[in-house]
A and B are shown apart, each in its own frame.
Chain A
């Protein structure tokens, strides 16, 4: 670890020499910082591994149609093991497991990312308001957060899914609401510290409005912890979607989802055990990749946390 700062200084100093054009000699500070952060991130092998797995799963989701139809039945090929025609075998209705895993990746990625974006879209503004204005706004928002936290995650999600009815959109809403408190808390905590900074006082003295101060000076400085929180929330939401679908409260059967696939596989544990393995491996890899990238981001953006 002690060599890290030297290495960084060395590379930034070497940059102008390797680039002949004088205009390119000193990159703008922002670019220099992001390049340094990228370097720091790519030095962590595990995080790079996570990133690679994540990209693989994303391309699986994007190119899902290439793996064939997830719903074509072949009753002559039921509960088969892996073969050339079906690399991961077939299920009880003779459907290709690989195709279903690929389409399931679409559902999982959508659920994970959309739920996180929903939680951010609502939670970050609430946290900004609570932390910046304090007073009664903070009081109301903080009690609202406490209230949401009073419901264990799955109880809240099961209840919301029951009220809204089972569908992917409602799973996203249920998981997004469940993830709200953490985004409100993280944002509020950051803003409480940032509003005491000199540059904020400077902007106030400059006559900047609240909107400008929050968007120009406060929010950009709170991005790192929010990004890290997002990488923690996405895998939780991916697992949450599979749990709700497994229970029958999420994505409904003809649509392939890793959770519904596991739920169906439960019946055939003795005949086709592999059927219960693949979706689980997929969920675990998806969650692991986000967790690894998240760990890498945390260390990259906040080296103090590594201790």
Chain B
């Protein structure tokens, strides 16, 4: 276990290091000169040269990279070229908004996906199964931003039930906050629930035909006990992995959902950054996203290997 843990942590650290190089190089590959962007409209060559000197843009690229890496590790992500604000502070400001959206979507996804998957597997071939499968296929095929537009159209514009867009901090007014977060969470959550439902269904089908489930049945346990205690627990192991893999989809979905519902979160930050050519912001958001994503996947992997010792053994052999 210790060696597996070390190897897995080592790989993640290497990936993070490589990713920081990609982000650094990628931002420098963006069209436009950072010094000119900072200097503003006045393209006085002397002023631009001073900015180059001040921000060390004349240093060799590796020197710039290591300075950037050192600063990032200390939480210094630079300043927005558009607003002049500290990028770390902007991110800390926006992150809770996206985290709330992600958590609510996860809740929606789990509440729909898990029961639907279990029911579909237990009532295989019936209308429940067929409905769940249709729902799963539609969930995979309908683009979530369109679902968002349709929900705004039906729920907000025509029925006038919920506000179409905007954001109110939770601690300012929990009701107003949830009113505005409900539709985005449903939009993001349904896509997730479709994937979860399909995975849960096939995992349940597999465990229900496993030997230990037959043993449990032949011991005379009630069907309820067989399902809840034996089959469900082992099927949930699969779901943990799927959740880790779906985190990327959740982040991607948040980018576009926040755009549609005008939620001032992380995803809107990066898209706005791209349009205003605010390179420090893009760089900061990309770096923080990648770190979060890699760390969560590491945690998921370790949880998984803890829940399922077979992974550790085969993982150690390869």
Interchain CB contact under 8 A, B274 and A150: no
In the complex, B38 has a CB within 8 A of chain A: no
Given A150-B16, A150-B19, A151-B290, decide whether A239 and B143 contact each other with a Cβ distance below 8 A. yes
Chain B residues with CB under 8 A of A154: 251-253, 255-256, 267
In the complex, A284 has a CB within 8 A of chain B: yes
Chain B residues with CB under 8 A of A30: none
Complex CA gap A285/B142 in Å reads 8
Chain B residues with CB under 8 A of A269: 149, 152-153, 157
CB distance from A146 to the nearest CB of B (A): 5
- Which of B22, B29, B138, B294 contacts A284, CB < 8 Å? B138
Complex CA gap A285/B146 in Å reads 13
Which chain B residue lies CB-closest to A165? Answer: B31
Interchain CB contact under 8 A, B146 and A284: yes
In the complex, A287 has a CB within 8 A of chain B: yes
In the complex, A273 has a CB within 8 A of chain B: yes
Proximity bits, B50-73, A CB within 8 Å = 1, else 0: 000000000000000000000000
In the complex, B140 has a CB within 8 A of chain A: yes
What are 17 A-B contacts with C-beta separation under 8 Å? A143-B14, A143-B18, A147-B18, A151-B289, A152-B247, A154-B255, A155-B290, A158-B274, A163-B29, A242-B143, A243-B143, A246-B256, A273-B157, A276-B150, A283-B143, A291-B140, A295-B137
Determine the interface band of chain B, counting residues with CB < 8 A from chain A. Answer: 35 or more
Chain A residues with CB under 8 A of B31: 163, 165
Interchain CB contact under 8 A, A150 and B294: yes
- Which of B146, B157, B248 contacts A152, CB < 8 Å? B248
Given A158-B271, A163-B30, decide whether A280 and B290 contact each other with a Cβ distance below 8 A. no
CB distance from A179 to the nearest CB of B (A): 13
In the complex, A292 has a CB within 8 A of chain B: yes
Complex CA gap A243/B256 in Å reads 8
| Given A273-B153, A287-B142, 16 other A-B residues pairs in contact with their CB atoms under 8 A | A147-B18, A153-B248, A154-B255, A155-B255, A159-B274, A162-B274, A235-B140, A276-B149, A276-B153, A280-B142, A280-B143, A280-B146, A284-B142, A288-B138, A288-B141, A307-B206
Given A151-B290, A266-B149, decide whether A143 and B143 contact each other with a Cβ distance below 8 A. no
Given A273-B153, A273-B157, decide whether A262 and B146 contact each other with a Cβ distance below 8 A. yes
Chain B residues with CB under 8 A of A159: 26, 274, 282, 286
Interchain CB contact under 8 A, A152 and B282: no
Given A284-B141, A287-B140, decide whether A155 and B146 contact each other with a Cβ distance below 8 A. no
Interchain CB contact under 8 A, B11 and A280: no
CB distance from B213 to the nearest CB of A (A): 14
In the complex, A297 has a CB within 8 A of chain B: no
Complex CA gap A277/B150 in Å reads 7
Chain B residues with CB under 8 A of A235: 140-141
Which residues B11-33 have CB closer than 8 A to chain A?
11, 14-16, 18-19, 22, 26, 29-31
In the complex, A125 has a CB within 8 A of chain B: no
Chain B residues with CB under 8 A of A283: 142-143, 146
In the complex, B1 has a CB within 8 A of chain A: no
In the complex, B221 has a CB within 8 A of chain A: no
Complex CA gap A242/B253 in Å reads 13
Chain A residues with CB under 8 A of B149: 262, 265-266, 269, 276, 280
Which residues B268-318 have CB closer than 8 A to chain A?
270-271, 274-275, 282, 286, 289-290, 293-294
- Which of B15, B141, B145, B247 contacts A243, CB < 8 Å? B145
Interchain CB contact under 8 A, B153 and A147: no
Interchain CB contact under 8 A, A270 and B137: no
CB distance from B315 to the nearest CB of A (A): 13
Complex CA gap A287/B146 in Å reads 13
CB distance from B145 to the nearest CB of A (A): 6
- Which of A158, A270, A280 contacts B270, CB < 8 Å? A158
Which residues B242-266 have CB closer than 8 A to chain A?
247-249, 251-253, 255-256, 259-260
Chain A residues with CB under 8 A of B95: none
Chain A residues with CB under 8 A of B271: 158, 247
Complex CA gap A189/B19 in Å reads 24
Complex CA gap A155/B289 in Å reads 9
Which residues A259-307 have CB closer than 8 A to chain B?
262, 265-266, 269-270, 273, 276-277, 279-280, 283-285, 287-288, 291-292, 295, 307
